[in-house]
Amino acid sequence: MKAMLLERVAPAEEMPLVSSRRPEPAPAAGEVTILVEACGVCRTDLHILEGEVSARLPVILGHQAAGKIAALGSGVGGFAMDDSVGVGWVASTCGVCRFCRSGRENLCEKAAFTGRDRDGGYAEKTVARAEWIYRLPAGFSAREAAPLLCAGIIGYRSLRLSGIRPGGRLGLFGFGASAHLAIQAALHWRCEVFVFTREEHHRRLAVEMGAAWAGGGEEDPGATLDAAVTFAPAGELVPIALSRLDRGGALAINAIHMSPIPSFPYELLYGERRVVGVTNYTRRDAEEFLDLAARIPIRAQTEIFPLEKANEALLRVKRGEVRGAAVLEIR
């Protein structure tokens, strides 16, 4: 099968992914093979590519893979051939640790991840554990659904951890793939959304999608926020976001890797403001979000690339040039 393989970490500008022919993967017991039709390109892929997040090498990146079931391993129930499904970032958890047993499987210390520990979706086929795949929302094509499988789910978890309530004032810092999906959930909850981003085309998209205001991180939106989420992996945004929070507000940090957070005065936390890091997601998060996405419905703005252009897609993500989400279409 065709795949884009990462054999060495390097800056995205060096185009390190190589086109490769790989053996067709066969599912083991409890697994399914997915014929990949589309795979979202996530900033986490970029962090792995550039060595900021460790991974086993060589590896096939991609953890937002959507397509149809092409083979079923023994013991798999509840799915059938040609079912439309997707797999996200979390590939498996141990199921027995204190985190898994307390409903916090996102914190499992023995978790494995798609496109990092297992080959992912920058390929014609991928194999996934059946208990960690999800049915695509009805009426969504694979390329429409692919960005929902990580950017959407983790954005939804970030909103929940921020504590935003219906009708509240929400700040989104950064407006890439995850934020442009999260805003749709927030607007569905009748929130007033303020978007902070350095890219002018991201500001325009935010306003087009219903943001009450969009500007730079240092600009004053003229309102205090009940909650905020940072999406950009820039530590300097943390004190800026805290300075915009009202008393009792929370800041959720949606990032697997981030530049150092600068020191800031205690006054930014005083007033029972809180900071919480967002780590992975649970299957309940995924199921709730995909159900919500179908009901709203949430629609991703996508820029489509062929599989062979995965390097270019990652470079455009790095440069902040993608409007919405980058998606690889596998033919």
Six token digits for residue 195: 């978007």
CATH at 213 = 3.40.50.720
- Same-domain check for residues 142 and 174: no
Q: How far apart are CA 315 and CA 9, in angstroms?
A: 14
DSSP letter assigned to residue 203: H
Among 278, 293, 312, residue at a domain's last position:
278
Q: Which domain holds residue 62?
A: 2-149+280-329
- Same-domain check for residues 11 and 136: yes
Provide the number of structural domains found in the chain. Answer: 2
CATH at 110 = 3.90.180.10
- Same-domain check for residues 116 and 67: yes
Q: Which of 99, 135, 97, 132 is nearest to 113 (CA)?
A: 132
- Same-domain check for residues 17 and 93: yes
In this prediction, residue 57 carries a pLDDT of: 97
Please state at what angle helix 177-188 crosses helix 151-162, rounded to 10 degrees: 50
In this prediction, residue 205 carries a pLDDT of: 96
Q: How far apart are CA 139 and CA 149, in angstroms?
A: 15
- Same-domain check for residues 9 and 140: yes
Q: How many residues are listed for the chain in this entry? A: 331
- Same-domain check for residues 127 and 26: yes
- Same-domain check for residues 270 and 285: no
- Same-domain check for residues 83 and 30: yes
Q: Which of 185, 183, 140, 176 is nearest to 285 (CA)?
A: 185
Each residue's pLDDT tens digit, 160-206: 999 999 999 999 999 999 999 999 999 999 999 999 999 999 999 99
Q: How far apart are CA 140 and CA 117, in angstroms?
A: 28
- Same-domain check for residues 250 and 300: no
Please state at what angle helix 151-162 crosses helix 283-295, rounded to 10 degrees: 100
In this prediction, residue 180 carries a pLDDT of: 97
Tens digit of pLDDT at every position of the chain (331 positions): 999 999 999 999 999 999 999 999 999 999 999 999 999 999 999 999 999 999 999 999 999 999 999 999 999 999 999 999 999 999 999 999 999 999 999 999 999 999 999 999 999 999 999 999 999 999 999 999 999 999 999 999 999 999 999 999 999 999 999 999 999 999 999 999 999 999 999 999 999 999 999 999 889 999 999 999 999 999 999 999 999 999 999 999 999 999 999 999 999 999 999 999 999 999 999 999 999 999 999 999 999 999 999 999 999 999 999 999 999 999 7
Scored b (16 or more CB within 10 A) or e, 96-115 reads ebebbeeeebbebeebbbbb
- Same-domain check for residues 114 and 41: yes
Contact 18, 320 (CB under 8 A): no
- Same-domain check for residues 270 and 284: no
Q: How far apart are CA 327 and CA 324, in angstroms?
A: 10
Contact 17, 71 (CB under 8 A): no
Among 278, 301, 317, residue at a domain's last position:
278
- Same-domain check for residues 172 and 204: yes
In this prediction, residue 331 carries a pLDDT of: 78
